[in-house]
A and B are shown apart, each in its own frame.
Chain A
């Protein structure tokens, strides 16, 4: 099954990436695309830009590991993960997850699983430019909880 993982400063085209997964095949019945986008405000304060720092080498390895796990858990026919780094302004794309499967349930679940793990396990850090200066974004406990429920489900099915 083809899996594409890219870390890049350049923008991506979600529609074009989704089209790659269905090209010249008729077994795909569902494609889910998720795009994370840079917001212009956070907690009521304007955000002029954000800079994403990452751990080269480990970021690719960690995403690959979770893509492998998604493929083991759901019958996927294609996966693409693209994560940008560097300075982004409000409205810019940050991250893309595309999953293809025969049926929508698997595509939706795998895309959500991958996003929950990207948030909490992929070595990326966001720094926002706020009116008072640059601030590192704090990890959210809601994101940890979202990732944890996949581990609980895995244990429950064992």
Chain B
């Protein structure tokens, strides 16, 4: 299942890119699973996802918890807590 990933703020800086398309294996079912799978992809990912608890996620542009499923998702975004306004 191929899915577009977007990274923002320091997650983007640590990963070293703003977006990419990945094809995680079938066992990767939730946002939390996806972060664990990403963290094993290389040093920069391990750095970005070292503390998944501080990373927020959105599936198809809607805020979700780490336990949210990613089945059918077109776009998953990872970012730090927001600081707008």
Please report A residues at the B interface, Cβ cutoff 8 Å. Answer: 36, 52-55, 57-59, 61-62, 83, 94-95, 115, 118-127, 136-139, 143
Contact = CB atoms under 8 A, between A and B. Distances in A.
B77 interface: yes
Contacts of B62: 58, 61
Contacts of A126: 83-84
Contacts of B85: 36, 83, 94-95, 115, 118-119, 122, 124, 143
A138 B10 CA distance: 11
A123 B84 contact: yes
Main secondary structure of the interface of A (DSSP, over half): mixed
B58 A55 contact: yes
Given A58-B58, A125-B83, A138-B83, 15 more contacts: A53-B8, A58-B62, A58-B77, A61-B61, A62-B63, A83-B85, A119-B82, A119-B83, A123-B58, A123-B77, A123-B79, A123-B84, A124-B84, A136-B80, A137-B83
Contacts of B63: 62, 121
Contact of B82 (A61, A94, A125): A125
Interface of B: 6, 8-10, 12, 58, 61-63, 77, 79-85
Nearest to A58: B61
Contacts of B6: 55
A125 B84 contact: yes
Nearest to A50: B83
